[in-house]
Amino acid sequence: MNWKKAISSVAPILGTAIGGPFGGMAAKFVTDALGLPCGADDDEIADAVRRDPEALVKLKKAGFDFEVRLKELDIKAKELVYKDIDSARSREAAVGSAAVNNLATFLVVLVVIVLIGLGVLVYYDKLTAMSAIEASIVTLVVREVFGKLEQSCNYFFGSSHGSSKKNDIIKDLKNPN
């Protein structure tokens, strides 16, 4: 069991923080929750998670405690994600490479080509004549191309507001207070 994945599944904010600028503080919450000395290594933490049947409950509580501590420090949980995104964009600005812009342009052109190809297949009624394997390949290609375009748009414009709103609704449902 990868203990970092376990933490991310039960305490997402704590899991995100482990690899970020608040990693030391997050690690302290993890080691305290598991009763380990400060500075415990990955193997010690993984062993503690495997040995203790209550480890995930303790980590979930540590995640809540960590969020409370962040709020006490006037640091919003969303800032962790924004800082991660910002660091990628800052790096891009500092490097000054056109690679990301070229990749995004390539993806838009690729989407147009895929849409034209699908239009041709529909116009000549070739979609219905495809075997199941051919149709699966077309579906896979279309999903991948549009998925990469979505990632590119998220890089340039940020994640959708609807996704953030959905997360807020879920949080409200979990904590009705």
pTM as predicted: 0.42
Q: What is the dihedral of CA 12, 17, 19, 25, to 10 degrees?
A: -130
**Domain spans, the chain:** 3-78, 97-174
45 burial (CB, 10 Å; 0-12 / 13-18 / 19+) is: buried
Instruction: Answer yes or no: are the C-beta atoms of 142 and 110 closer than 8 Å.
Output: no
Distance of CA 147 to CAs 18, 51, 71, 91, 92, Å? 27, 40, 34, 23, 22
Distance of CA 14 to CAs 55, 70, 115, Å? 14, 10, 41
pLDDT tens digits in sequence order for the chain, 177 residues long:
577 777 787 888 888 888 777 788 888 888 898 888 888 888 888 888 888 888 888 888 988 898 888 777 766 656 666 776 677 677 777 777 788 788 888 888 999 998 898 888 888 887 777 888 888 888 898 899 888 888 888 777 666 555 665 566 666 666 655
